[in-house]
Amino acid sequence: MKPLENDLFLKACRREPTERTPIWLMRQAGRYLPSYQALRQRYDFLTLCRTPELAAEVTLQPVEQLDVDAAILFSDILVVPEAMGLTVRIEDGLGPQIEHPVRTAADVARLVIPDPHEKLGYVLEAVRATLERLRGRVPLIGFAGAPWTLLAYMVEGSGTGDFRRARVFVREAPDVAHALLEKIAHAVARFLRAQIEAGVHAVQLFDTWAGLLDPDSFAEFALAGVRCVIRELKAAGCDDVPILLFSRGTAAWTETLAETGADVLSLDWTCDLARARRQVGDRVALQGNLDPIALLASPDIVVREARRVLARFGPGSGHIFNLGHGVLPETPVENVRRLVDTVKRESPKYHVEDREEPRLD
């Protein structure tokens, strides 16, 4: 594999010194970019995901247009439930729709733990196609949905916002829920391992709906699922590839999440970044956590809020600038460019000691 021209993101993941704070954005490839909108006029969402050359093209758009420090593969978390045997549709205006959601032990028994090379080969081809086009400019991040978040969709049948059916399900049928969670965790771990073998430089787990759970359910289902995936990846010898964990709405669990084995915690915008840094110390790097809404404000506000996030983390390494969730579809592209430029311009002063030569006296 060609050496990376820009490895700031990977250095920050490992809490190594960097000359500035690296930046990439969740959902940086997507609906706010005119170039993506042009493709969507010709292809539906799942066609983009399932066609390696198209997925690679979308993945590279923000790298080429915004000069971010990492690319994240264009795909969707629901490719795993589909590979396990469910029928998934993405409908404009409605979002994901799953035919015949999982509701019983028999439903769980029918699901398979797929061979990612057989069932998800198009994603792995997209990884290889993207790496070929990146030519070592920046690292490529692979990803998957965390087990609880995937369970929530698989039981609910759609993205409802509160996932009440899934939350009732884990209470009424905990044994069935655990069996489902175990299958999902094995499937996710195999999928991420396959992405790593295909060449991604890091992987991120998205537990978008973990914050809906009460503390006991969070520990029993969300936390347990994440730990299972990370444990399997480490056991498979993937220690040299950073694992990022995004668990939304779980600021109260920051210290516990730092003990999952993840190398980086990606924080949502409700977290106090300074407090989180004090809590985790040097155990993990931190990613985040600008409120995506800030990018809908005036350019001056974007600059002010970017500076605020940098100041909250403070001096030193181990910070990756990102949003507290994904870029919103109505975000002005110029505001995203302003954000990237601001972080690159303003963050070096927080890394002065990282650039100093060691003293000999």
Backbone torsions φ then ψ of 144, nearest 5 degrees: -160, 160
Cα 320 to Cα 11: distance, rounded to the nearest angstrom: 10
Q: What is the dihedral of CA 124, 130, 131, 133, to 10 degrees?
A: 150
**Are the C-beta atoms of residues 245 and 265 closer than 8 Å to each other?**
yes
Instruction: Look up 76 and say whether it is catalytic.
Output: yes
Catalytic residue among 76, 207, 263, 268: 76
Query: Is 103 among the catalytic positions?
Result: no
What are the backbone angles phi and psi of residue 246, rounded to the nearest 5°?
-110, 110
Dist. CA 313–CA 298, nearest whole Å:
23
**Helix (H) and strand (E) counts for the chain?**
18, 9
Count of CB atoms within 10 A of residue 20's CB? 21
Catalytic residue among 7, 15, 20, 27: 27
Q: For residues 321 and 230, give the distance between their C-alpha atoms in angstroms, rounded to a whole number.
A: 23
Identify the helix (H) or strand (E) that includes residue 87. Answer: strand 87-91
43 is catalytic: no
Closest CA to 327 of 39, 61, 9: 61
Query: Could you write out the DSSP letters of every residue in 162-218?
Result: S-HHHHHHHHH-HHHHHHHHHHHHHHHHHHHHHHHHHT-SEEEEEETTGGGS-HHHI
Pairing type for strands 285-287 and 264-266 reads: parallel
Q: Which of 137, 153, 193, 248 is catalytic?
A: 153
Contact 50, 76 (CB under 8 A): no
3-state secondary structure of 116: helix
Active site residues: 27, 31, 40, 76, 153
